[in-house]
A and B are shown apart, each in its own frame.
Chain A
Amino acid sequence: MLQYVTLEIDGADIVVPRGLSVLDAAIEHGICIPHLCHVRYLSDIGSCRLCIVEHVVNGRSKITTSCTLRVQEDMVIQSNTERIRKLRRNLAELLVAHAPNSRAIQDIAVRCGVKEVRYPFRNENCVLCGRCVRVCSECAGANAIGFVGRGKNRRVDSPFGSLSEFCVECHTCIELCPMSIQPCIGYMEPGEERLCGACESQLDLADELPGHCVWCELGENFQCGRY
């Protein structure tokens, strides 16, 4: 029998089944908490840190990722405070400066209110969200790709660096990869990177109504309840 718990997210009382993550509970109730590494049907590793929320316990709030936090009875969660917005914006800025050639990443930056990138752009083609790695092992059961290396040298690769004989060619890894969605202005060559122009109008909206849906590409491809 399903057990339900009641919790409060951004002032709204919601009732969800026990065992759900706070992020899933929020999405299910139309509260958008930006996220990147989370995929509904995969395990959560808490690596992008975008889904941070304030978890208020005894009047003191603790910052934690909502994808890895299980719902509890009478929990109080704030997903859209000034503090969280600022931290999230800084994280999104790091991401978009690192890998601007993705509509998904650009959308996240817009959604999180990034207006200016204060670091030199890089043109990397992976943000190490680990969606591909997890879908490969958890859904395809193939374990054909994984993380290798540590720190700065961390990358996704097949074991021993050659196309693994375990790959079942299901291509789900590519489907889930945020880097597989091109920015609407097309591929930006090294040196040409910038925040995506087409989204600027949305930026005002994101500013005026923080937490407002910007109809992000990631949402459409990755089962956001609004689409």
Chain B
Amino acid sequence: MSRDFTIKIKTVSELEAFRKRILNDLKKARVVLTLCGGTGCQASRSEAVSTAVKDELIKQGMDENVHVRVTGCHGFCEQGPLCVIEPGNTLYCNVLPDDAREIVTKTVRDGEVVERLLYTDPVSGKTIQTESEIPFYRAQDRQLLAQNRQVDPCSIEDYIAIGGYSALAKTLFEMAPKAVIREIEASCLRGRGGGGFPTGLKWAKCREAPSDEKYVICNADEGDPGAYMDRCVLEGNPHLVLEGMMIGAWAIGAREGIIYVRNEYPLAVKHTRIAVQQARDLGLLGEDILGSSWSFDVEISRGGGAFVCGESTALMASLEGKVGEPRPKDVHTVVDGLWHKPTTLNNVETWANVPSIILNGSARFASKGSNGSKGTKIFALTGHIKSTGLVEVAMGTPISKVLFDIGGGPANGIPIKAVQTGGPSGGCLPADKFYLPLDFDALAEAGSMMGSGGMVVMDEGTCMVDVAKYFLTFLQDESCGKCVPCRLGIDRMLEIITDITEGRGKSQQISLLEELGHTISQTALCGLGKTAANPVLSTLRYFRDEYEAHISKEECPAGVCEALITYEIDPEKCTYCGVCKLACPYEAIMGAKEEVHTIDLQLCQKCGICRSECKFEAVQIN
């Protein structure tokens, strides 16, 4: 759709007229072809697909009445590039540029289904035509993510077409700031950035703080490895976040907003920039918004490039041009924040939930979820599981439902042993805790946390001591190093865990680990240190026997810790093929032709190459 840049929307009725016009325009399209252009699908060449499709439409003379929409991420990146065709709601997976012709000819022109591009259910082996029938989607409750499929992130018209900015209009003309805060409080919305702090309470405190200058900030620094829900929302539906921020700003009395986007998210930065510019062009940002005499504008700032910059005080320091390091929060940032002014900082997903709460009421939002945790939450499901991707479910959904109904169970047939929730400083929960609901309090009680919504699935082939070591290493690299417990404490925990995985562990070190872990969590300056011991404490709580096996039996039950395992060739299975002997870089394998091969343990460097090369599974770990 071409855009008329001279239009300014100055009143609510002009907004409604504008919406009507867009909807009429959209009706003209006979077929809507939606292509996912999120970062995940872009990596699998979705751009080439959309060019090929558009070219093909022109070639066949159908570009007039087919609307091609390139959208943000649909969450099923593993199957990308994705393509959805309406009417019929047919979903095609793993689409290649070469498929464009067939899609246009068969599906767009003739309304037929291209069977080979349909999704195949890994469990039943059958093909499935529409998104809503796929188990991965069916068991979800996609309040936020579903919108990603309906809007082109670079088109404010698309967003307005699905009701965008009507929550803002309602806020400005029908609700006093205090009423907005009351509505958010009634919804029981809690921050999605990790802490789960009640959003309404945060806003109320910030509103009360005396100052003529206040700020709202959107935290899009998302630095957890494997997490990308914030990227997906900001990249796919930036106007939703923007509208949420505007409502928050009105409520607390801020005139300036800042979106702090992680530096490694170029597409999110680009789409947010475009969205802000479009909103300004239409008059939805700037002076006298919708004739309400209220003014507000938003700036975009790129992150400082460190995980710890996502912490509220570090983020604000970084915005002020200082080193992105946390500072003590004895006075909270809602009173003394950016430039010492009252500041409301919320996560992308938190802001994105605001417009629908205002528009549809807090009761509808609060109807989903569990006692202390309302609404839906997006999780990033990864690891040893059949279907990976972004999963949005109502809070309180049991972990097992996400793992088995949505994720389809273990990927390689090996049973699932644990799931790590809450990002690098979350905890590992064992299979007998999978009945637990995904809610802030239940997870915290079990020694893990909601965090920003990471979910790493681990099967029986995973060593839990090794997992703790992995996360500790990440946290050590990302700690700012300012305070003693985090800097020296994590270092010592890592030292002890390394001893344990390398066979030097002593049994008294287990209690030392525990004591040290509790010391760090109670004394560290910021949230990073306060949660850094979680991976160790939770694995000690649920998988203590693995630690003990490493120490007392010098054994790694999962066969992962190199120092504690030996490779051996099973004489029963060896077919004397000699592949392992050729493959071993250290010439540690002996054996003549027609003779069982053996590994010289002195020479073996435990690289595991022989094991992966042997086609008869004769190389075993002891």
Contacts and interface: CB of A to CB of B under 8 A. Distances in A.
Nearest to A148: B323
Interface in B508-532: 512, 515-516, 519, 522-525
A94 B489 contact: yes
A45 B485 CA distance: 14
B477 A94 contact: no
Contact of A95 (B327, B488, B522, B523): B488
B330 interface: yes
Interface in A166-200: none
A120 B495 CA distance: 10
Contacts of B476: 151-152
A118 B330 contact: no
A90 B515 contact: yes
B479 A151 contact: yes
B482 interface: yes
A91 B525 CA distance: 13
Contacts of A46: 327-328, 483, 525
B195 interface: no
Interface in B570-591: none
Interface string B300-336: 0000001010000000000000010001101100000
A70 to B, nearest CB: 7
B517 to A, nearest CB: 10
A94 B330 contact: no
Interface string B65-100: 000000000000000000000000000000000000
B482 to A, nearest CB: 5
B28 interface: no
B524 A49 contact: yes
B212 to A, nearest CB: 23
A43 B481 CA distance: 18
B154 to A, nearest CB: 36
Interface string B439-481: 0000000000000000000000000000000000000111111
A11 to B, nearest CB: 22
A94 B484 contact: yes
A221 interface: no
Contact of B519 (A91, A119, A154): A91
Contacts of B330: 64, 68-70
B487 A119 contact: no
B481 A128 contact: yes
Nearest to A70: B330
Interface residues of B, number: 31
Contacts of A18: none
Given A91-B519, A150-B479, A49 B327 contact: no
Interface string A45-60: 1111110100000000
Interface in A58-105: 63-65, 68-70, 86-87, 90-91, 94-95, 97-98
A161 interface: no
Interface residues of A, number: 34
A151 B495 contact: no
A114 to B, nearest CB: 13
B483 A49 contact: yes
A153 interface: yes
A147 B330 CA distance: 23
B512 A128 contact: no
Contacts of A94: 484-485, 488-489, 492
Contact of A87 (B306, B487, B512, B523): B523
A149 B512 contact: no
A48 B481 contact: no
B523 A52 contact: yes
Contacts of A70: 330-331
A31 to B, nearest CB: 19
B491 interface: yes
Given A91-B519, A91-B523, A45 B482 contact: yes
A151 B487 contact: yes
Contacts of B308: 150
Contacts of B516: 90
A47 B484 contact: yes
A68 B328 CA distance: 7
A147 B317 CA distance: 15
Contacts of A128: 481-482, 487
Interface of B: 306, 308, 323, 327-328, 330-331, 476-485, 487-489, 491-492, 495, 512, 515-516, 519, 522-525
Interface of A: 44-50, 52, 63-65, 68-70, 86-87, 90-91, 94-95, 97-98, 118-120, 127-128, 147, 149-154
25 contacts: A44-B328, A45-B482, A46-B483, A47-B484, A48-B483, A65-B328, A70-B331, A87-B519, A87-B523, A90-B515, A90-B516, A91-B485, A91-B523, A94-B488, A94-B489, A95-B484, A119-B492, A147-B323, A150-B480, A151-B480, A151-B487, A152-B476, A152-B481, A153-B481, A154-B482
Nearest 10 Cβ contacts at the A-B interface: A154-B481, A68-B328, A90-B519, A46-B328, A94-B488, A151-B479, A151-B481, A49-B523, A47-B483, A69-B330
Given A64-B330, A149-B481, A151-B481, 9 more contacts: A45-B327, A45-B482, A49-B484, A98-B488, A147-B323, A150-B306, A150-B481, A152-B479, A154-B480
